[in-house]
Amino acid sequence: MNKRILTPMKRRLEVNNAAGIGVVRNFHSIIVKAGGYEALTFDKRVERNYIQNARSLRLGVGDAKSITLYFHKIQQQNSNFYSAIDLDEDDHMRNLFWADVRSKVTYKAFRDVISFDTTYLTNNYDMPFTPFVGVNHHRQSILFGCGMLCNDNTETFVWLFKEWLSCMSEAPPKAIITD
């Protein structure tokens, strides 16, 4: 057995877990979906460990510190740079949000409609990358801010949108288009 959970299975495990389905039932649903236990590349222990770790960012050693230091350095260079880091009860990084000065200025001019998409995944961390995107008067895409999320549950989205609105002077867009 390879002991590796493929990305589609990871998403299914996370969705089932967020819906309140327990580890045993979650695992049995994966067995059925895979066409039998022999077709799985992981066991129940690997699934349980994955679910426990899915609530915090899967960062390598020093990555969280590097991100924090980088955001701090950028903020020293430009006090209008905005960043927010969401920590869990063990002080592990869960979610990130950031926006530069240009993003904030262009949002004021082009905030009528924004697109918010969580279908992007990063290769290294397998986390949803969530850009806030708008369109300028030349019909060009413009970036209003970015986030990286540990999962796609309600609590995470509430945190992200609160941070985004705080960054954008509490000025909501007229419409949001999302997946």
Query: What are the residues whose beta carbons fall under 8 Å from the beta carbon of 168, sequence distance 6 or more?
Result: 99, 104, 107, 111, 144, 145
The CA-atom distances, in angstroms, between 111 and each of 5, 132, 138, 158 are: 40, 11, 14, 19
With 0-12 / 13-18 / 19 or more C-beta atoms within 10 angstroms meaning exposed / middle / buried, residue 85 is middle
Rounded distance, CA 157 to CA 140, Å?
26
Average pLDDT (15-32) is 82
Distance CA 152, CA 146 (A): 15
Q: Hey, what are 29's tokens?
A: 């649903």
Cβ distance 113 to 177 under 8 Å?
yes
CA–CA separation, 26 and 12 (whole Å): 9
Distance CA 19, CA 13 (A): 10
Band of pLDDT at residue 1, cut at 50, 70 and 90: very low
How far, in Å, are 119, 147, 163 from residue 122 at the CA level? 10, 11, 21
Helix (H) or strand (E) holding 20: none
Looking at every residue in the chain, the average pLDDT score rounds to 84
Query: Global pTM?
Result: 0.65
38-80 pLDDT, tens digit per residue, is 888 888 888 877 776 665 555 655 677 788 889 999 999 999 9
% of the chain exceeding 70 in pLDDT: 87
